Amino acid sequence: MKFLLSHKVVNGVNNKEKGVKLNLLNDKNETITLDCDVALISIGRYAFTDGLQLAKAGLEADKRGIIPTNDHW
């Protein structure tokens, strides 16, 4: 599994059973081609923790809904 942060999808091709080919633009404005079986693309980040009953698990979210973590995570 590979995570590419701060990248934009320029274009791509779904080759069905052969996988996916994506052209990405990184934060240095360089084009990167990525061939993979499956691509999961997420735009932005928002904590969707409402309704998870965090208190029952002994967890607490901050005012933005984010669960604080330590340096290990």
Look at residue 50 in the predicted model and tell me its pLDDT.
Answer: 85
* pLDDT per residue as tens digits for the range 31-69: 999 999 999 888 777 778 888 999 999 999 998 888 888
Look at residue 21 in the predicted model and tell me its pLDDT.
Answer: 94
How does DSSP assign 6-63, residue by residue? Answer: S-EEEEEEE-GGG-EEEEEE-TTS-EEEEEES------S-----TTS-GGGGT----T
The domain limits of the chain are 1-42
Look at residue 1 in the predicted model and tell me its pLDDT.
Answer: 84
Q: Which of 28, 11, 8 is nearest to 20 (CA)?
A: 11
> 54's torsion region: left (phi>0), alpha (psi -120 to 50) or beta?
alpha
* pLDDT per residue as tens digits for the range 12-38: 999 888 899 999 999 999 999 999 999
* pTM passes above 0.85: no
